[in-house]
Amino acid sequence: MYKRILVPVDGSECSSKALVAALQLANESGGRVRLVHDLDQLAYLSGFEFTTDVLQAAREFSQKVLDDALAIAKAAGVPADTKLMDAPGGRLGEMVTEEARQWEADLVVVGTHGRRGMSRVLLGSGAEQVLRLAPVPVLAVRERQPG
């Protein structure tokens, strides 16, 4: 059913739950996953100073997030690759939407809350953007079980 599953990852617990769900779907359907991480450079800037050391640390963190997720996919026996999305000022939903189109994804699996910005009451702002903009079905995985 779903052969190409796009999974935004950020290293959070909710993102990890979404990754596990995507890997289960890929295993059942004989599919593959593409793991993406958005390096939001603006999230690492204080407004007072900018150093290449800060940006380098952000890139290293981003690559570690992708490498860790790829290791989980390989351990699950699911074909996977990674892509670091690095467009200063780009919104997560727009970047995931564009990647879903370019990669011809069948499904996007996203955690409802991640490591970005202030949480919304029902959904994180990044997940909400993905739900509104994605050109394919989106599976939103909850951070916690209700109740």
Cβ–Cβ under 8 Å, residues 23 and 109: no
Cβ–Cβ under 8 Å, residues 36 and 96: yes
**For the whole model, what pTM was predicted?**
0.85
Written as six digits, the tokens of 17 are: 């739950």
Cβ neighbours around 65 below 10 Å, total: 21
Residue 125: the pLDDT is 75
Residue 87: the pLDDT is 75
Q: Mind listing the pLDDT tens digit for each residue in 48-93?
A: 455 677 778 888 999 999 999 999 999 999 999 999 998 777 788 8
Q: CA-to-CA distance for 70 and 50, rounded, in angstroms?
A: 30
Q: CA-to-CA distance for 81 and 32, rounded, in angstroms?
A: 8
Q: Mind listing the pLDDT tens digit for each residue in 2-19?
A: 999 999 999 989 999 999
Cβ–Cβ under 8 Å, residues 83 and 99: yes
Q: Mind listing the pLDDT tens digit for each residue in 26-49?
A: 999 999 999 999 886 455 455 545
